[in-house]
Amino acid sequence: MLGPSALQGGSRSSGGGITPPDIHHTVHTLPPILSPVSLFILTHVEDIIDTGNTLCALVALVQGAGAASVRVCALLDKKARRRVPLQAEYTGFECPDEFIVGYGIDYAEKYRNLPYIGAVKDEFIKHS
C-alpha cells in the first residue's frame, strides 16, 4: 500500500530515436504499484512532450483507473508538433520542432548522456 506520497518509475519508448515519437508505441497497462490509483493525485514527470499521443493515452488510462487528478510536468515541450489537446501543468522550456538530445534524451540510441540539451542538425539526420 502506498502512503501519502510515493514515487513510481516507468519507461516508454517512442520509435527508437530515428522515427517521429509516438508512432510505434501505445500505452496499454499501468505498472502494478499504480493499481489501484483511486483517490491518488498523480504528477507524471516527462522528459519531453512531442505529439502528445502517448502521454494523452497514459493520462486517460490513469484517469480511467480512478485517479483523483493527473498533472503533467515536462522538462521540454514541443507544442508545434502537438496532435492532441494536451497542456502540461508544469513546463521547463518550450522547444522548437527539432530532434532534441541530451539529459537522457537520445537520437538513434546516441547522445543520451550529454550534460546539456541540444538539437541534432538536419544535415546529420539525412546522412544517418
Residue 59: phi and psi, rounded to 5, are -60, -45
Q: Which three cell numbers stand for residue 11?
A: 519507461
Q: Which of 47, 50, 97, 122 is catalytic?
A: 50
Give the integer Cα–Cα distance in Å for 6 and 94: 28
Active site residue 122: no
Give the integer Cα–Cα distance in Å for 43 and 41: 7
Give the integer Cα–Cα distance in Å for 125 and 128: 5
Q: Could you give the residue numbers annotated as active site?
A: 50
